[in-house]
Amino acid sequence: MTRFPADFIWGTATAAHQVEGSNTNTDWWRREHRPDTDLPEPSGDAADSYHRYGEDIALVADAGLGAYRFSIEWARIEPEPGVHSRAQLDHYRRMVDACRDRGIEPVVTLHHVTNPIWFTREGAWRASDAAERFARYTEATLPVLDDVTWVFTINEPNMIATHRDFEAAEMHLAKRPEPDMHVAETLAAAHRAAREVLSGPGHVRSGWTIGGQAFQALPGAEDAMRDYAYAREDFFIDAAVGDDVIGVQNYSRNIIGPDGPVPLAEGTETNLLGWEYWPQSIGEELRHCWERGKGTPLLVTENGFATRDDDRRIDHTRDALASVKAAMDDGVDVRGYLYWSLLDNYEWGSYDPTFGLVAWDRDTFERRPKPSLQWLGRVARTGAVPDAA
C-alpha cells in the first residue's frame, strides 16, 4: 500500500478543443477542415462538454476526486483582436461555479494548443507583440478566475515551440523537428507577462505546464542527451524557476543515443499512440523538474495511458503513482496528481487514442464511466494506492 499526504490534490483533466466541440474560431479547426488536411478526422462536436460540463464535473465529484483541470478557449473569449465576449467569459465562470458547487477545486489553463484564427493569421508566437496580446487576453479572463487558486498560463510551451505551425506540422505522430528558439523566447515572455497580470488579485498561484519526456541517455550519449533536451524541455523548466508551481506532464521516457532518439525495440509494449509503457517515467520527470527547477513546487497536471484495456490503464496509473510517491519520499515537493484524461477525447487528429476514465457515445454523448474512474476515486478518498493483486 502506497500512502499519500492528506492534503494531496487528486483529480483529472481535459482541454477545451479536445472535449468542447464546435470550436470553430481556432487555427486547429481550420486545419481540420482544409481540403488537403493531414488529419484523419475533424473534432466536430467532440464530447459536447461545452454544454455537458455539469455532467462531467458531477462525474469527477461522485467518483471522489477533488480537482478538475480544464482550459478556457482564447478563440471563444477574444474572437477578434481586442473584442472580448462577455457571454463566453460568463460561460467559463459558470464552469468554475459548477466546480465549487460540487466541492471540486478548479484548475484552469489559459492556453491549451489552439489559437484564435486572427492570432495565427497575424504571426502567432512569431509576432512582435504576441506577449502583449496574451497578457491582454489574460487580463480579460480575470473575472473567470475570481476565486481560482491554480492557474496555468500556457500548456506545454515546449511542444508549441516544436509544432509551431499548427496548420501544417504533425503532432505526436512524426519525428519532432528542431524547436524554434525565437518562438520559445516569445512564449517565455508571454508567460511572464501573464503571471504579472495574475499576480494582481493576490490569490492566484500560477505557472505553466511542461511536456516532460524523461530523457535517458545510452552509455556515452550523455552530452548528446543534454544538448537534445535543452531546447525541447530544459529551457522551459529554467524559465519557470521561481514560479508558484510547475505543471509536470509525462507519458513515457525518451531514450537518446548519439544521433538522437532511439527507436523502440521490437515487442515493446506501447499505448495507442506508440509510446512505450513505462509508468516509472513520471517519477523520473518529477525528479528532473525539481532539480532543474531549483525547488519550484510541482503538480502533475497530465499523466495517463491510451489503451482499450482499462485494467492495463489501472496498472499503469498504480505504478505511476508509486513512482510519484517515491520521488516525494526523496524530498520532491509534489502537490497533486491530475490524470489525463477525464474523457476519451479528440487527440489532435483522431478519437482512436482513448486516454479517458470515461467513454461516451459518439451519437448520444451518453457518458460511460470505466472501472478506472472508480479505482482512482477510491485512491483519492483513502489517500492510498493498493498494491498489485
Q: What angle do CA 126, 213, 238 make, to 5 degrees?
A: 55
| 345 half-sphere exposure, CB direction, 13 A CA radius | 23
Q: Which one-letter amino acid corresponds to residue 208?
A: W
Q: With contact defined as beta carbons under 8 Å apart, do 339 and 377 qualify? A: no
Q: What angle do CA 160, 131, 299 make, to 5 degrees?
A: 55
Q: What number of other Cβ atoms are within 10 A of residue 63's Cβ?
A: 24
Q: Which one-letter amino acid corresponds to residue 59?
A: L
Chain-centroid distance of CA 102 in Å reads: 23
Catalytic annotation on 156? Answer: yes
Counting Cβ atoms within 10 Å, is residue 270 exposed (0-12), middle (13-18) or buried (19+)? middle
Residues contacting residue 338 through CB under 8 Å, at least 6 positions apart = 9, 11, 12, 13, 67, 69, 107, 299, 300, 301, 302, 303
What is the DSSP secondary-structure string of 270-291?
Answer: B-TTS-B--TTHHHHHHHHHHH
The C-alpha cell at 117 is 484564427
Strands 358-360 and 367-369, how do they pair? antiparallel
Q: What angle do CA 216, 218, 223 make, to 5 degrees?
A: 80
Among the options 156, 284, 285, 302, which is catalytic?
A: 156
Distance CA 96, CA 80 (A): 24
Catalytic residues: 156
